[in-house]
Chain A
Amino acid sequence: MPNTSCDEAVFSSLFEKHSKDLFNYLYYKYGANLNPDDRVQEAFVKLWQNCAKVPPKKAKGFLYKVANNNSLNELAHLKVVHKHAPSRAKYTTYEDPQFEMETQEFSEKLQKAIADLSGPQRVAFLLNRIEGKKHKEIAEILGVSTKTVEKRIYGAFKKLKIDIKEL
């Protein structure tokens, strides 16, 4: 069956096209504890099982929907706080313990504040600041308008500002 998602060549190119973005999206939205790599696998397995019903054009929407549902169910039962473990490369040669401590404190405040953002705000903000994706690119990934992405990023920043100053 050429040109449907059931065709091996089509399916593997869908994987190449969407898997990494989906992985990053899930990681930023739900954190590492929810095993984003497993969620990606599950979503593609489901796509394969339904390949006759989901044309390649609709594959992306399908994958994100399945992955989001599975993650939300897992979240509801695990009730974990999102952990985006910072891997701190030493980008400074300072050995001033005071400086180290302040940076560490800021990092922890920031981590908590990021975990407190809403899922949509967090994904948009992190995709922009960490992955360097522009508004337009994020809008394409999430399937929303550029204006919506703007609102989510500003909303995230405003909330972070308040949380960081308070903590």
Chain B
Amino acid sequence: MDKTIIAAKSVIAVDIGSTITRSLFFDVVSGKYRFVAVGSAPTTAGVPHFDVTEGIWRSLEELQFITGRVLLSEKDGVIIPSTPDNKGVDIFVATMSVGNPISVVTVGLLDTVSLQNARHLAHTTYANIIAEISLNDHRTSSDRINLLTRKRPDLIIITGGTNNGASQSLLSILESIGLSSYMMDESQRPHILFAGNEQLQDEVKSGLAKISKLRVAANIQPVLGIENIQPAQKEINEVYKEIRIKQTGGLSEVISWTEGTFTSTASAFGRAIRFLSEKYEPEKGVLGVDIGSDATIMAGAFNGEETLRVFPGLGVGSGSGGVIEKNSLELIKRWMPFELSDQEIQDYIYNKSIYPSSLPLNVEHLEVELAVAKQALRYAAEQTIPSLAKQLGAGGTLLPYMEPIIGSGRILTLAPKQYQSLSVLLDGLQPTGVTTLALDQNGLLPGLGAAAEANPLLTVQVIESSTFLNLGTIIAPLGVARPGTPILRIRVNREDGRSFTRDIKYGSLSVLPVDLGEKVSLHLRPLNRFDVGMGGPGKSGKVNAIGGVLGIVIDARGRPLQFSIDQEKNRKRNETWRKTFSKYE
């Protein structure tokens, strides 16, 4: 932990994604850490290489080419630490998301309490819950044993009982878990993570430690109504690491380069968002979303407290088929500005899931991919909003006020037009109040999160260096009115003294022409008791804003967005919105 700026300067952060492996290079420039360059190459975890080092090597070769700095040696591989003649790198950190989700059985006392905690924990990593066991399920001990020996999960998460709470009923379930583990091949015994009643820890250790790969964490719910997920989250990340080492060729070698600074991409992403939350406005939370090929990540943080949710099988590449399966074709189609047959859309999505690296060749197919991204994000947001709202002390089904919102993922960074990236975030997340949509255009967040463990100063300084692209300030008033009703009067005061005023009507999407980086003062006066986050319905206020790529966007379309059952009407409306944005880029 003592690798400070004095001892170590340059950092490479490698992220092994399900389609692309990226190598980020950070170094000290003019006395401060800065992001320098990125190299990328196809990931080689699966067929035909089955060795992640191949993809890392190629991404580092590209990085060498871009930076002109020698990072690799034929003899020694990655040069660590750096040499006096500026070859190599001082710190190497790695994150990873590629691989099939780990299979998890969750165990708790009651479905609505402890099992819910176990689910939250499982969802902080790339995991699929394949079965659940609780007192509510009316399974006998024999049923539980048979379930576990047949499912052969990678991990069993046990929660339940507050400290000093129930113990006997949990012990009876633990007996079944112990017996089933004992009956499995030693090589196939599941990892067990116990995060329940702390009074049972000794019994759990004596009963399960010899016959399973046991980890014990602080109670995830020490007192009824209080969730303490982070200690168990740390342990689940270690389990993820152990499972991936076993499954993935070359990963042990990579970890040897990192001196242990290896984590899941999601965990590192969450950590970076947590860092950001300590930097920005304390009264609002920071939200980060990553739309990957196979998985979508939502990470919210408020004053250093983090809510992380991972959705494996929900993405824009190999996970695109999962977007149909978890939603429906109709829900994807509602985002389309072009008319395409159901069959063409669905065939395109399933082909993308079997050929995730392939690219759309025309505008229509690009729009299919953007529609998939919007729906993936919408689904992820709907699932995560209750946890975010609880954390922020808000309620309801709308995204709570968060500032800023940062989007990551190749679908956003490779989109030919930046309004396309903005509209994915805006439509998928449907933010409320006043916020900023930013783009992690170089995919730095996982790298910054991973580097934070070895070198927190780097993470802080790179975040402070305006590394994210401001797509636009968003103003999204909340309330109900008939379309066309004036709901907001906005006055924009520029720094040079010029100003203009606009009346905003319900149902509209409009762009205020403010240049990228231009500082303005906004006076917001809601009409008809609409709420723009100034302290309540109808309350006016001033807010300082900075123009993004799309200036300032007033999204008065309502929350949540309403759709017609007539797809043609939706298509026309999407086309109107698309034209609204495209005029300004």
The answer to whether A binds B is: no
Show the binding face of B for A, using Cβ within 8 Å: none
